[in-house]
Structure 1
């Protein structure tokens, strides 16, 4: 029964009564991006936009975005939960409600949001529910936390387009990606930021389906 309870806790979102309280103080993180040297926290230039994407283990996910032309800053952290300023270990209990998330700060004049969604869908399996491969837990769920209604609309359309692509490939097209407007994004601890840059041999944890995302939206 203990093992069953632990598995259910990891794959079921916590109730309001189970949520850990967190803390008012921010968790310490890195000051600068390890590759670019840009400040990790805002305020960012007014012309930049923010995308928050959860696709499993955030170490490997962040690496996908930091070298894309038009991306100014990437950071890993926690989004979609209720606990204020959670720690990594608290998130892994499944009692904060957060997903491991990559924040991507980008210039929309140089990079379209849909291109970021293409990287998102092509590099993990959005049909996995509360897991990515052997990485099991609500904190590994697939999610798009939109910054505004425009991103929200594009994300919903992108899900429909990728569902068709999966179906055409003969794969499970029951996409479980959570799509919602973004709430608070909490930066992860300093040693998690750009982790695969400093530890290039570490496991990425990403499990893509192998199906390409249609770069041009349907008319």
Structure 2
């Protein structure tokens, strides 16, 4: 379907569904456990709330482990706008559109952006002078680190673009009215596992993301 000719409400539903499923799929891809995705939105006003419930609690015994966790967590946070930016005609992540969505701060991107920037600052402060081969060495600056995290998030979502879109369509198809006068949808991990493309979610190591 041509997105430009699509019903505005359906466009909003698809955008929010892709945003939340990109968070979820990125988390699964990076080794976290996922449980549920849901959202609610007003049918006419730009009011919405979405969440991807994942288990991002990891025991870290070394600085290397802590940095790996922060790196993955930032990717999951930034994956939402990457999913939202996917063009259905080309199945490509649009990084320029994702950057604009991040700056606008809608569909939950504002909070994602803020936390990802904090993680970039922590990763910059904890980097060694020699670097770790994954992110810039100490002194590069948090903006440079953030740009690398942004690029890595785009790569994880692009690798898994088909599962993201297929699962987003499943979530969008479940939209029903809520007692509060909103519309919403919920989908559990068990629901998602029934989808053929769920099995195509590819597990990605951080080293694969380094160009």
Q: Same fold (TM over 0.5)?
A: no
Structure (1/2) with the larger strand percentage: 1
Higher helix fraction: Structure 1 or Structure 2?
2
TM-score by length of 2: 0.34
Normalising to structure 1: TM-score of the pair? 0.33
